[in-house]
Amino acid sequence: MRKLIVAGNWKMNTSVAEGVELAKKVSAYAVEKNLPEGKQIVIAPPFTHLASVAQVIDSNKVILAAQDCAATKNGAYTGEVSASMLKGIGVKAVILGHSERRQYFKENSEILLKKIKLALEEGLDVIFCVGETKDQREAGANLYFNVIKAQLVDTVFTLSEQDFAKIIIAYEPVWAIGTGLTATPEQAQEIHEFIRKEVANNYSQKVADDTTILYGGSCKSSNAKEIFAKKDVDGGLIGGAALKADEFGKIIDAR
Ligand code: PEP
């Protein structure tokens, strides 16, 4: 079912103690607001924080997500954390395909599809990020539409309809992430509409109507309302602005 989601990607920020405090505040906010069914708050702390955060949030009100998972099930993969390990400590979702993972850790569609499948096997929801770089945006609409389409076709569009129902798509223009440059509401809507059409072409209009598509990239309380008001924008994936409970709360209220 199509949902309204505001998700916080904490990246590699906060100590465990700070993260636990932040999670407590977000959870208290969600409880106080008594959000309607269909409106969800997600937080994605670093791996080291997940078990502690799981203990302090109301899991009926806040969905705990990881920022990554391994592309293999288990075994001799030093440093990796598997989807089943995450599930075992109360994680319900995972962010995959974030541009920082693609850029700094060379994660391509082949690797990402392995991660997606393992996450789904464990029953985790997947927030799958797509988006074009600055150069690709400047090269014109033909190119950036194709870039985004390829990111979908090579990964989540290979899934069965049943599995695809567990995918939340996040459109995150790389040029807007952490830069202070936000896509205009019209730029966001253009891509969200395009993604929804591609979902309809690949599956069906019903699946497209049910797909949740988030916007991410320097989204904050001062611009969230305008962006979230667009008809194909179902909420946001928030980086920097998710690290302050008050600011994150205002963004939750914007939708
Ligand atoms: C992100 O990293 O997913 C993100 C949207 O970051 P920021 O909001 O800081 O641009």
Q: How far is the CA of 174 from the centre of ligand 1 (A)?
A: 9
The pLDDT of residue 37: 82
Q: At what angle do helices 141-153 and 185-202 cross, to 10 degrees?
A: 50
In the predicted model, is pLDDT for residue 36 greater than 90?
no
Per-residue pLDDT tens for 37-73?
A: 889 999 999 999 999 999 999 999 999 999 999 999 9
> pTM of the entire structure?
0.97
- Alpha-helical (H) ranges within the chain are 16-33, 47-56, 83-88, 99-104, 109-121, 134-138, 141-153, 161-164, 185-202, 205-210, 221-228, 245-253
Instruction: For residue 100, give the 3-state DSSP assignment.
Output: helix
Q: 246: which 2 tokens?
A: 């008050």
Classify strands 93-96 and 39-44 as parallel, antiparallel or unpaired: unpaired
Dihedrals φ, ψ of 27, to 5°?
Answer: -65, -45
Segment 229-235 shows an average pLDDT of 98
The pLDDT confidence band at residue 252, using thresholds 50, 70 and 90, is very high
99 lines ligand 1 (CB under 6 A): no
Contact indicator for 215, 170 with CB cutoff of 8 Å: yes
Per-residue pLDDT tens for 106-164?
A: 999 999 999 999 999 999 999 999 999 999 999 999 899 999 999 999 999 999 999 99
The CA–CA distances, whole Å, from 160 to 126, 155, 174 equal 14, 11, 28
The pLDDT of residue 23: 98
The pLDDT confidence band at residue 255, using thresholds 50, 70 and 90, is confident
In the predicted model, is pLDDT for residue 170 greater than 80?
yes
Q: Which of 49, 98, 190, 247 is catalytic?
A: 98
Per-residue pLDDT tens for 177-208?
A: 989 899 999 999 999 999 999 999 999 999 99
Segment 226-253 shows an average pLDDT of 97
Using CA atoms, how far apart are residues 34 and 27, in angstroms rounded to an integer? 11
Using CA atoms, how far apart are residues 114 and 158, in angstroms rounded to an integer? 12
Contact indicator for 63, 40 with CB cutoff of 8 Å: yes
Q: How many helices (H) and strands (E) does the chain have?
A: 12, 8
Contact indicator for 62, 41 with CB cutoff of 8 Å: yes
The pLDDT of residue 38: 87
CA-nearest residue for atom 4, ligand 1, is 239
170 lines ligand 1 (CB under 6 A): no
Contact indicator for 198, 159 with CB cutoff of 8 Å: no
| Catalytic status, residue 121 | no
